[in-house]
Amino acid sequence: MPDKITVAGVPVDTRHWIGGRRVASGDTFTDVSPIDGSVLGEISRGTPAEAAAAVAAAKAAFPAWAATSRAERARILHAVADGVDKRLEELAVVETTDNGALLRSHRRGVMPRVAHNFRFFADWLLTLEHEDFETRGHRNHVSWDPAGPSVLITPWNAPLMLATWKVAPALAAGNTVVLKPAEWSPLTASLLADIAAAAGLPAGVLNVVQGYGSEIGDALTSHPDVRRISFTGSVPTARRIAASAATQLTPLSLELGGKSPLLVFADADLDLAVDLAVEQYDNAGQVCLAATRLLVQESIAEEFTRRFVEKASRLTQGDPRDEATDIGPTIHPRQLEKIDGFVRRATAAGARAVIGGHAEDGRYYAPTLLTDVAQDSEIVQEEVFGPVLTLQTLSLIRADRVTDRLVAGTVWVNCFFVRDLQAPFGGSRLSGVGREGGTWSFDFYCDLKNTVTAPEGWQDHG
């Protein structure tokens, strides 16, 4: 197995990154591009031994990194961001080749956000404080102490952006990291290890272990030396991680599946509502916070549907490297089969495909809108994670009731996907546990400590 492969003209190391050096496994897994099914390379397939080695490296590096001043940690994270900027085009083309998302999106939005993740948390670290307060003359001082080695398990739909959404605050907090990227899109995590090392991040502070969660997940999440676990993915996998972490009572942050609604009332700007609804097909529908349930007030449902179909029909689906493409391929044939299964079962149960409803060319799923769906049906209740939306109608009375009872981590009004890293982000109920962003990230990745100091000469212990 070659140690490096070339992807879109960019050399990428296929080995793990553990303790500041490259480590190969005895076995590999095949990484395939969703664009055309071509084999990109054979990637080191981690075992529990590599998982344990990565945790050991993170544990060994933790005391020195935790003791590193805030200013120095922030300086290194800014250097990592600079490295991302310098290699932005390489990161964009590699990730597009690896996961099939639009190249124009990676260039203009996703990779700049990767650099911003590091800069934001580096700067936030320097402002992190809680005003001291008094209790009967005693001073209370709140501090954020680094928690320890953190295992970060990230998904395939926005690999590097979502990885650095976790890596950046964990490192800023003074923790060391073991990053486990998704096996369907592992390549930019390997490039991140190179960028971080070049920026001066000490050996062992960031480790990257590739492979299948079913083979190395438990070795990471049940390890007694792991102090934090952050995971983005499905509810069933989260349940397994939570059960594994329970053996050590390791704190978890879980960002899970979504089935969010887009509510359109009769007084809405209909053109804006349609634009936002069609936007839910972004990244071929492979977005955890996509509003895949369109709930439209009855009096405007017919006109909304007409305008939606007209606009959605103009979307261009094809090669994500083409600037004219709006929707790229599905990440993997297994995911395509899963999406198609959802739609076939829904139509068999009486749903009607207003547009789409079928796969194309074995790699693409046509943008789909289903109507005549029951509230308790699988297609309405379960996350599809593909370009499939459902449309249901709301009566005026029901609309008022729904808005009063929203349970959600984020609510957008007359907009969508407006994100600020200082805001809390996460799901409610089965969509997630915990919040990250701004100070909430540091609350998770740190052990909060309150130090109470008696005034000088104080003797009364009552």
Q: What is the pLDDT of residues 241-273, one digit of tens each?
A: 999 999 999 999 999 988 999 999 999 999 999
Average pLDDT over residues 34-39: 96
The answer, yes or no, to whether residue 103 has pLDDT greater than 50, is: yes
The count of C-alpha atoms lying within 13 angstroms of the C-alpha of 414, restricted to the half-sphere facing its C-beta, is 4
**Protein fold of 261-404:** Aldehyde Dehydrogenase; Chain A, domain 2 (3.40.309)
Average pLDDT over residues 327-349: 97
Higher pLDDT, 401 or 245: 245
Average pLDDT over residues 324-340: 96
| CATH class of this structure's domain 4-257+421-451 | alpha beta
The answer, yes or no, to whether residue 462 has pLDDT greater than 50, is: no
**Amino acid 90: pLDDT:** 98
**Amino acid 398: pLDDT:** 63
pLDDT tens per residue, range 178-188? 999 999 999 99
The answer, yes or no, to whether residue 461 has pLDDT greater than 60, is: no
| Amino acid at residue number 90 | E
**Amino acid 424: pLDDT:** 87
3-state secondary structure of 230: strand
**Amino acid 460: pLDDT:** 54
Residue partners of 294: CB distance under 8 A and separation at least 6: 261, 262, 264, 277, 304, 308, 369, 389, 390, 391, 392
Which of 36-50, 111-125, 149-163, 405-419 has the lowest average pLDDT? 405-419
pLDDT tens per residue, range 271-315? 999 999 999 999 999 998 899 999 999 999 999 999 999 999 999
- Decide if 210 contacts 226 (C-beta within 8 A): no
| Amino acid at residue number 307 | R
**Amino acid 84: pLDDT:** 98
Residues of the chain with CATH 3.40.309.10: 261-404
The answer, yes or no, to whether residue 115 has pLDDT greater than 70, is: yes
Backbone angles phi, psi at 207, to 5 degrees: -125, 145
What is the set of active-site residues? 255, 288
Residues of the chain with CATH 3.40.605.10: 4-257+421-451
Burial class for 245, CB neighbours closer than 10 Å (0-12, 13-18, 19+):
buried
CB atoms within 10 A of CB 108: 12
The answer, yes or no, to whether residue 164 has pLDDT greater than 80, is: yes
How far is it, in rounded angstroms, from Cα 189 to Cα 208?
7
How far is it, in rounded angstroms, from Cα 223 to Cα 253?
16
Going by the DSSP 8-state scheme, the letter that residue 110 receives in this structure is: I
What percent of the chain has a predicted confidence (pLDDT) above 70? 97
Average pLDDT over residues 388-401: 81
**Amino acid 372: pLDDT:** 97
**Amino acid 27: pLDDT:** 96
- Decide if 180 contacts 152 (C-beta within 8 A): yes
Among 149, 173, 209, residue whose Cα is nearest residue 73:
173
Q: What DSSP letter does each residue of 323-383 carry, written as one string?
A: TT-SB---S-HHHHHHHHHHHHHHHHTT-EEEE--SEETTTEE--EEEES--TTSHHHHS-
